Amino acid sequence: MWSDQDDEVIAGDLTAALAYVTPAGGVVVTPVAPVGLRDRQAGTVSFTTSLGFGRKLDRIKENPRVALAYHAREHGFGSGQRFVLVQGTASYDTEPDRRVLEERVGPASERFMGAPRRGLFWDRWLSAYYGDRVVVSVSVERVLSWPDLRCSGQPTVAGTPLEQREPEPQSPPNNGPGPRVDVAHAARRLAALPHVLLGYVGADGYPLIVPVRAGETGPDGIQLEGPLPGGGRRAGLLGHRYGRQLVGLETRQHTGWLLDGVYAPHTESGFRAPANKTLLLLANGFMARRGLRQARALGRA
């Protein structure tokens, strides 16, 4: 289904960028930790998330076409400069097989993240984070790969041939295409992060993710540099960094409007996690427990 070179990247990257489609036809790009989960023979790749962080699960259920960009080599086991983009159809079970979590996901996660914290306090505090995890499996439609992380030139394609036409331009938002957040502030934060990625819907309905750089700003938005599509369209932007075992995470996420290489951010969100694993686990446990209560109230869990 994909080459040995691409498989090394998929198996070795600590983090990947997930893109999913919004009801309005835009894209949200968010970091996930796939920890090498894939079945090359079955043509699937996977990642895990907690039911407590279920917004992405709701969106995936509404539109299961997703993309995963393997774009960063730090703190993992992959090597080289390949940018690998997997597109496919995602599915998950809200009541996962506990044996799968213990026998497959547990060892894979431990390889990247280290041994889980154990003990009376940690077992209770992290029960929502560790115990209520969902495996999202992506049935691969195609794998696109470039020999460098800038996505220069044409990609190698495994699987369904890629549409050779650009996606049709979209209609501008009803509230106007211009920026709705502080452009200069958003650009400064993005420029300070080592990985910045743009996501948008391709011609066949699957998200595409490309690496970009934030450049000059103006009243219309942020000038982006990279392999950008033409025409106006809704797009998502992700900037992030991470340390060993995902300690010291920082993300900046935007949704907005892209036109002729200028990105007008409409929304912004993000967080900076503690650069201390104990503090990070305390925060993860709190967020997962709170999110799980909300998921149960909404009937998601």
CATH of the domain at 120: 2.30.110.10
pLDDT, tens only, 66-77 = 999 999 999 999
Q: Which domain holds residue 30?
A: 4-297
Predicted confidence at residue 232, as pLDDT, reads 96
Specify the higher pLDDT residue, 248 or 85. Answer: 85
- The confidence score (pLDDT) of residue 214 equals 95
Give yes or no for residue 101 having a pLDDT over 80.
no
Region of residue 197 (phi > 0: left; psi between -120 and 50: alpha; otherwise: beta) = beta
Q: Is the pLDDT of residue 97 over 90?
A: no
pLDDT at 60 over 80: yes
Q: What percent of the chain has pLDDT over 70?
A: 97
* Planar angle of CA 68, 71, 74, nearest 5 degrees: 125
Per-residue confidence band for 300, with pLDDT thresholds at 50, 70 and 90: low
Instruction: Name the domain count of the chain.
Output: 1
The residue that leads in pLDDT, 67 or 59, is: 67
Which carries the bigger pLDDT value, residue 132 or residue 160?
Answer: 160
